[in-house]
Chains A and B, each alone.
Chain A
Amino acid sequence: DTEVTQTPKHLVMGMTNKKSLKCEQHMGHRAMYWYKQKAKKPPELMFVYSYEKLSINESVPSRFSPECPNSSLLNLHLHALQPEDSALYLCASSQDSVRGRTGNTIYFGEGSWLTVV
């Protein structure tokens, strides 16, 4: 079983709605990630938090707003999404962001299926 927990599992929202995806890990990891994944494609990186600070934003539209309240929690706030934003959103975590560190491994949650109508 994954030690990265995501809620909700499924979410349907209208284009004018505001909703949030939540993620929690208790592995003591200091890096947390949001990925977006379309069917049969590899995960696409959206954001990386390292030691609770945003370290990577892959030019994601501002209608996606990440938040890292503490080292165990990661949220993704959603507002005014478009139908093409419908996808599986994956949260993940890894130990830390030491450059070139050997042994860094990323663990995924089960994902949140988002449908924008």
Chain B
Amino acid sequence: GQQLNQSPQSMFIQEGEDVSMNCTSSSIFNTWLWYKQDPGEGPVLLIALYKAGELTSNGRLTAQFGITRKDSFLNISASIPSDVGIYFCAGPSNTGNQFYFGTGTSLTVIP
């Protein structure tokens, strides 16, 4: 299946710091999705991007759809303890209902 690579794999940051993570693919996507998953819960959609170059915000979160359509970025400003979790990027296949997921970025916020 399609491989989506996320980096960094994990991050340990101080509360109040900004966070950046990215997701890259070997082929183009028409949609990029970003999810946060808390331990023991299902992934929750944070931001959906539908157009190359699009920049979308959701509170302290900002995500961008790369102009090559092969990458996407997620930024979190002024991190807080409840930002802790695993962040996944995802994108749908062009051939039907299959969504590919990134390898995940684990975020730890130190108070």
B-to-A contact residues, CB < 8 Å: 30-31, 33, 35, 40-45, 48, 50, 86, 88, 90, 92, 94-99, 101-104, 106
Is A11 an interface residue, CB under 8 A from the partner?
Answer: no
Besides A31-B97, A55-B97, A97-B97, 13 more A-B contacts (Cβ < 8 Å) are: A6-B42, A40-B104, A45-B99, A48-B98, A56-B97, A56-B98, A100-B30, A101-B30, A104-B97, A105-B45, A107-B45, A108-B35, A109-B42
Q: How far is the CA of A56 from the CA of B31 in the complex (A)?
A: 21
List of B residues within 8 angstroms of A102 by Cβ: 30-31, 50
A45 to chain B, nearest CB (A): 7
List of B residues within 8 angstroms of A71 by Cβ: none
- In the complex the two chains form, is B104's CB within 8 Å of A42's CB? yes
Closest A residue to B40 by beta carbon equals: A113
- In the complex the two chains form, is B33's CB within 8 Å of A105's CB? yes
- Chain A contributes a number of interface residues (CB within 8 A of B) equal to 33
**A100-B97 CB under 8 A given contacts A2-B44, A108-B43, A111-B42:** no
Contacting B86 at CB < 8 Å: which of A40, A101, A113? A40
Contacting A41 at CB < 8 Å: which of B48, B92, B104? B104
List of A residues within 8 angstroms of B45 by Cβ: 105, 107-108
Q: How far is the CA of A105 from the CA of B33 in the complex (A)?
A: 7
